[in-house]
Structure 1
Amino acid sequence: MHVKSQRVFTRLTQLKELILESDLFIAEYNLDNIQFVQHAEDLLIPDGKSLSDLIGEKKFRKIHKIIEKSFKVDLRQFEYYLPLLIVNIIGEAILTKDYHLPLDIFLWNFAKESEKELDGVETYASQQQIMQAIKMKDQLKMVKDISKRPYIYRKNILKMAKWYEEESINLLYKNGKKSLGKYKHILLKKRNFIMADRFEELTLNQKSFMAVGAGHLAGQHGILKLLKDKGWKLKAI
C-alpha cells in the first residue's frame, strides 16, 4: 500500500536485507521524479477549473464540510487537483502517518542510498494516460460517494490495511477489482500485463527486488499468475 502507516512497514527489516542482496530495485515508476510529479500540471483539473467549478459552490461547501469533519481533510487545499487524487489523499488521511514517506518511496530511497540500480515497471507518462482515461464525471462520483457514506469508505480503508498486515493478497485483489468497477481492465488487468512483461525484461541477468501495489499480485491476471505462465517458479518468503 502506498501509505505511511506503521501497519505496512511491519517487514521493514527483512525487506532491507532482501534489497541489499539484490542488484536492482524496481518500483511502479521512477520515484526520483516524485517531487516533479507532486506539482505537475497534469495532476490538476484541466483548464484551470476547480472542484467547486465542476459541482457548484453550494454542493462543494456541503461535501467540504463532511470530508473535513470525517477525515480532517480540507478540500480547499486540494480543490484544483484531479478528484482521483483527492480520493487517495482522503484514503491516506484515515491511516496513521508513522513514517515521513510512503513504503515504496521509503524503500526506493534505501535502495538508492545502498547504491542499487533503480528502475520502474511503468513510466510516469503511462500512469498519466491511465488517469486521463477515467472520465471526469466518474472521478467526481468517487468524491461524492465518499461524502455520502464516509463511514463506509473509512471502514474499507481500515479493512484493506488489516488484510495487508495479514498478507491476504487475494482479498486485496478482490476488493480492488470490485471498487474499480468498469475501470478494472485499464487500472488493474492491463497494467499487470505491462508490469509482468517489464519485470521479466529487467530481471533476466540480475537479482531484483520489485515493489508495487499489493492489489496487483493476486488474481487470474495478477502479476504472480502472469509470471508463472511465463515459466517462473515462485515461492513465498
Structure 2
Amino acid sequence: MLRTVNCCHTSTNKENLKKKDCLLWRIESDYSGDSWLFGTMHIKDAKAFGLLDILFQKIDACNAFATELNLDEINNGGTGMFSTPPVPPLFHLLPSKQYQKLKKILKKALGIELDRLAPLHPMIISKFISDAMMASEMPEFLDDRLWKHARSGEKSLHGIETFEEQIAVFHQIPLKEHLDHLKQLSKNYSATRKKLMRLLDFYARGDLRQLHKAALKGTHNKEEMVYQRNTIMINRIDALIQEHETLFAAVGAGHLWGEKGVIRGLKHKGYRLKPYA
C-alpha cells in the first residue's frame, strides 16, 4: 500500500493553507479555466506516488500536459541530454586513491561498477548515482507515469525546457564543481545519502519551504542551476496556458518555492495560485 503524502486541499483550515505544505497548486486566471502546477521528483520511491489518483484527475481535466523535458524525445533516443562537453575518463580526473575508494563504495552500497560510468561526464555520473540511492519500489519514475497517463488521454504533450536549454545551463558550471561532488561522495557516502533521504522526506510531507532550502544548501551555482531555469519555466508555462487554455505542468519540486520560484513568478504574470494537495 502506498504511503499517502500530506494533503492541504482548499477546504482545509486557514492554518494549513498558511503553511502551504502542498505539491499541487491550482492556477487561476481571468481568461481560461483552471490549470495545475505540480512539484515532482524523478524517483521510483512509493512515498512520491501518494497523490497519483488526484493527479490523474487533474491531468484529465486539462487540454495540455508538460514536464521539464519532452519525455517522448528522451525515450525515442533523443541525445540532447547527453551532449555534455568532452572530458577525460573519471579515473584521469580524480586522484587514484579517491577513485578507487569511490569505486569500492559504489560497488558495495549500490552494486554500481564505476569503471562502466567513468567515460561519462561527471554530471551524468552524479545523476546516475543519486537515482540509484533512492528506493525503486515502483516500476517507473513518477514523471514518466504522469506522462504516460497524459499520452493515453491524448493530451497535447510538451517539454517546458528544451535539451539545448538545460545543457546550456550545465555548460556554465565548471568541471571542478562536478568533481567536487564526487569527491565528497567518496569521503562521506552516508552523509550524501542522508541528505537525499531528507529531501525525500520533505517531499513526502509536501514541505516546499524546507525542500527548497535543503536543495539549495551548498549549491554554488544557484543562478545557473535554479534561477535561470525558473525564468524559462515561468515564461514557457505562461505561453502554454495561453495557447491551450488549460495546462497541467509538472516540474521539479525544488523549483516551486522562493523569491525567484515558479509559484511567485507565475503570480507576477497575473495568475492566482492556490495550494490544493
- Shorter-chain TM-score tier: over 0.9
| Residue matched to 2:3 | none
Q: Structure 2: how far apart are the matches of 1:168 and 1:72?
A: 32
Change (3 A) 1:61 1:5: same
Instruction: Please list, as runs of the form range in 1=range in 2, the aligned pairs for 1:72-221 lying within 5 A after superposition.
Output: 72-181=111-220, 183-204=221-242, 205-221=244-260
Q: Structure 2: how far apart are the matches of 1:208 and 1:20?
A: 10
**Cα offsets for 1:25-49 (capped at 9, x unmatched):** 0111211121324696524x615x2
| Residue matched to 2:92 | 53
Give 1 or 2 for the bigger CA radius of gyration: 2
**Cα offsets for 1:178-209 (capped at 9, x unmatched):** 2322x110110111111001100110141110
**Do 1:22 and 1:209's aligned partners in 2 also have CA atoms closer than 8 Å?**
yes
| Residue matched to 1:15 | 55
RMSD (CA atoms): 1.7
| Residue matched to 2:28 | none
Change (3 A) 1:40 1:160: closer
Gaps of 5+ in 2: 1-40
Q: Using CA pairs below 8 Å that are at least 6 residues apart, which structure has the higher relative contact order?
A: 2
Give secondary structure in 1 for the equivalent of 2:239: helix
Identical pairs, percent = 31
Q: Which of 16, 25, 44 is matched with 1:4 structurally?
A: 44
**Matched AA of 2:233:** M
Number of matched pairs: 234
Q: Which has the higher helix share?
A: 1
Q: Structure 2: how far apart are the matches of 1:65 and 1:133?
A: 31
Q: Structure 2: how far apart are the matches of 1:17 and 1:153?
A: 36
Give TM-score scaled by structure 2 length: 0.80
Q: Which has the higher strand share?
A: 2
